[in-house]
Homo-oligomer: A and B are copies of this chain.
Amino acid sequence: MKKLDKKEMQKLVEKAKLEMKNAFIPKSKSPVGAAVLTDKGNIYAGCNVDSGISGLGTCAERCAIDNAVANGEHCFKAILIVSESEEPLKPCGMCLQYIAEFSKVAAHDTKIIMVGSKGKIKKSSINKMLPDTFVPKDFGLNLKKNKKQKRGK
């Protein structure tokens, strides 16, 4: 897949940083922002949303992806993550699984870009970060047969 150009990269960082300010973090106190770039060239952002209990709550990555889906898109060229940590924050396995499933449906290797608070950048991709995971064989196929998906918004 083609590299992101400078403009795309800049926009992703901006949107993820802006979004980080909306993080709902009464428990973790650590704001995280994320932004996805779709195959159509649109950007959707998300922040982390804490819950008071184990097993609930949304990471910024999944929030951004759900936001894109809610806007009718599920094919992602790249996802970018920002946090207040100097060392670029890596997605957790749960978010990687989510990215991997959409990546399989889109049939390409979604880029994962992690940006530290002082600008340090780490680049990877879903195939590198979760090289060998379980995704149901028919996950993508089912979707193509699902006409409801084609209507969009």
Interface residues of A (CB under 8 A from B): 18-19, 21-29, 31, 45-59, 62-67, 69-72, 74, 89-98, 100-101, 105, 124, 128-136, 139-140, 142-143, 146, 148-149, 151-153
Contact = CB atoms under 8 A, between A and B. Distances in A.
Contact of A58 (B62, B91, B124, B128): B62
Nearest to A93: B97
Most B C-beta atoms less than 10 A away, residue of A26, A53, A72, A94: A53
B54 A148 contact: no
A67 B67 contact: yes
A55 to B, nearest CB: 5
Contact of A48 (B54, B98, B153): B54
Question: Could you say how many copies of this chain the assembly holds?
Answer: 4
A91 B48 CA distance: 22
B151 A21 contact: yes
A29 to B, nearest CB: 7
B97 A148 contact: no
A70 B148 CA distance: 26
B69 A139 contact: no
A130 B91 CA distance: 11
A57 B58 contact: no
Contacts of A63: 66, 69-70
Given A92-B53, A101-B51, A18 B153 contact: yes
B55 A24 contact: no
Q: Which 7 A-B pairs give the minimum distances between C-beta atoms?
A: A93-B97, A54-B57, A93-B93, A26-B143, A26-B142, A52-B136, A53-B92
